[in-house]
Amino acid sequence: MSTTFSAVPGPVTGFAISCVHGPTDHLFESYPAVQEFLQAELDAHGGTGHLAGCGNDFCAAMRMSIEALEADPSPRMRVSNSNGGALASLLGYPADGYSVSGSDTAEVFRDRVLAAQSTNSDSGYTADRLVELLDIAEFCAARGRDVQWA
């Protein structure tokens, strides 16, 4: 399990068929259109892994997923749940065990990251993650979008 910090989703421009390595070249304008295409591929081939363009055997054996493509994609930081919980706690947000999720305005989140940076004495992992979180907060603040983590 992992925790991803990012902006809340913005306007969507389309949908792509994706494997774990990211979107393929199969792009659609609407969610129903991509669902219909995937169902037809599933019916015809017994699976959808053949649509993966990455050449990975694991992906070829899996079903493809649908990914919404945003007009203005957010920077993302993905960490383990334990690290996500530790970072949320460091920022003063509740984090209980394996359930780490929340959201806040970009301004409050940025202030909390800056406060954590000023008191954090670790120059390694935590300091690097705080820099990434500040980038996400700045991205969100510039666009009036909240920060979310889950």
Residue 59 binds to Zn ion (criterion: CB under 5 A): yes
Q: Which 3-state string (H, E, C) describes the chain?
A: CEEEEEECCCCEEEEEEEECCEEEEEEECCHHHHHHHHHHHHHHHCCCHHHCCCCCHHHHHCCCEEEEEECCCCCCEEEEHHHHHHHHHHCCCCCECCECCEEECHHHHHHHHHHHHHHCCCCCHHHHHHHHHHHHHHHHHHHCCCEEEC
Q: Does residue number 54 form part of the binding site for Zn ion (CB under 5 A)? A: yes
56 binds Zn ion (CB under 5 A): yes
What is the contact mask toward Zn ion in residues 1 to 30, using x (rule: CB under 5 A)? ------------------x-x---------
Q: Looking at 8-16, 55-63, 87-95, 124-132, which segment touches Zn ion (CB under 5 A)?
A: 55-63
Smallest separation, CB 66 to Zn ion (Å)? 15
Q: Which residues bind Zn ion (CB under 5 A)?
A: 19, 21, 52, 54, 56, 59
